[in-house]
Each structure stands twice: as structure tokens, then as C-alpha cells.
Amino acid sequence: MRMSCISLVGAMLMLGILGGCANSDDQSDARLAGARMQNEDAAKNLMREAEEAERNHNYEHAVEVYRYLQGFPDSSRPRDLNRRIQRDKARLAESGRSDSI
């Protein structure tokens, strides 16, 4: 078993060395594009979650998700994010459940 682990590590190192022969700018661009797509997909999923929480009148959870989205890059989050947070905080205050926000 030990020999196979060493061989596996050696093979991974060789692949890393061979992979280093490719243009590093192309690899960096591909990684950045992949990260942007993941951010956008995650933001879309979170938006759906927040909107579903609003439909279910779970404004506390919607605010929580919207606040989480504030940590995403500007390009991945809705432009009206702060307005959404304020709106749902107001809805919470109207329902008398604003003490946790």
C-alpha cells in the first residue's frame, strides 16, 4: 500500500509539472472565469432562496440571505439589495418580530 501511495504522489507531481508547461495566463483566465460563474450561480440560488422566504413571509430568513449576498462581488448580486433588506426589515417590524435583526 505504501508503494502505491508514493507512486500516486509521484504521478500527481509529474502531472503538475507537465501541466505547468501550458500558458499560465490561460489557466488563470480559466480559473477566474470559473470562479465568476460559480459566484453568479451561487448568487442566483441564494436569490431564489430569499425570494421563496419572502413568499412564505419568512422575512427574517430573507434578510439573512440578502445580508450574506452583500459579501458577493457587485457583479453577482442584485443592484437593489439594500432596498430589499430595508423592505424586509420593515415587514419584520410590522409583524413585531424585528428584535432578532
Tell me the CA distances in angstroms from 87 to 82, 83, 93, one per residue in order: 9, 6, 10
pLDDT one-digit tens code per residue, 27-58: 888 887 887 888 899 999 999 999 999 999 99
User: Residue 98 pLDDT > 50, yes or no?
Assistant: yes
Three-state SS for 13-63 is: HHHHHHHCCCCHHHHHHHHHHHHHHHHHHHHHHHHHHHHHHHHCCCHHHHH
Cα distance between residue 48 and residue 53, in whole Å: 9
Burial of 62 (0-12, 13-18, 19+ CB in 10 A): buried
Burial of 49 (0-12, 13-18, 19+ CB in 10 A): middle
pLDDT one-digit tens code per residue, 53-94: 999 999 999 999 999 999 998 888 899 999 999 999 999 999
Domain ranges of the chain: 36-101
